[in-house]
Chains A and B, each alone.
Chain A
């Protein structure tokens, strides 16, 4: 079964304490991306990766880092979290557009609260 997993699903932390949200997909997709969802703003892209070792900023990258050392994993790193990073985070992946596969498949989401 095609799947995107995220961990943890819920996290409460304090300002400045480094954290990592993991994301893994089992579809051998090259493209992966992170979004954050905030009330009244919809979902906005944080970072994306087009393949192993290829990452780039999305629309709201400040305060975040990513890495892509393996095709299946795309962790999101908050090195010094702040309260304005309290949000719902989604990892997503899709197949190649050239194969007519444009839909993003989302993970279950991670609810992060930074105190």
Chain B
């Protein structure tokens, strides 16, 4: 079974600074997806970024980028120029590329990020 670990329960950073959220995972699979989801106070789950394991290039989406280290099973999220709207719970998640149709997400326990004005 896959496990996802987020070792930072809470983080805070000043507005406009850069922050990195950590995520490690354990799997014997070679082909999989990794995701970061954001959950603001509204509780909606919003996809931030995704990474395919077979791609060596790190994914980026505007101010959000990842550092994917497949051998180390590490998948950190970097938020540049942080904004007040980035305040949220962030979840790292793993999904097998193929699992007989139930390619479910396995989530970490989340990191609560607060952006300080």
Contacts and interface: CB of A to CB of B under 8 A. Distances in A.
Interface residues on A, range: 20 to 34
Contact of B104 (A42, A45, A108, A109): A45
Contact of A104 (B44, B105, B109, B110): B105
Contacts of A48: 102, 104
A42 B110 CA distance: 6
Contacts of B91: 42-43
Contacts of A108: 42-44
Interface residues of B, number: 22
Nearest to B47: A103
A50 B97 contact: no
Interface in B72-117: 91, 95, 97-98, 101-105, 107-110
20 contacts: A31-B101, A33-B102, A42-B4, A42-B91, A42-B108, A43-B45, A43-B91, A43-B105, A50-B102, A58-B104, A97-B98, A102-B50, A102-B95, A102-B103, A103-B35, A103-B50, A104-B47, A106-B45, A109-B44, A111-B43
Interface of B: 4, 33, 35, 42-45, 47, 50, 91, 95, 97-98, 101-105, 107-110
Given A43-B45, A97-B103, 16 more contacts: A33-B102, A33-B104, A41-B109, A42-B4, A42-B110, A43-B105, A56-B102, A58-B102, A90-B45, A92-B45, A103-B35, A104-B105, A106-B44, A106-B45, A109-B44, A109-B45
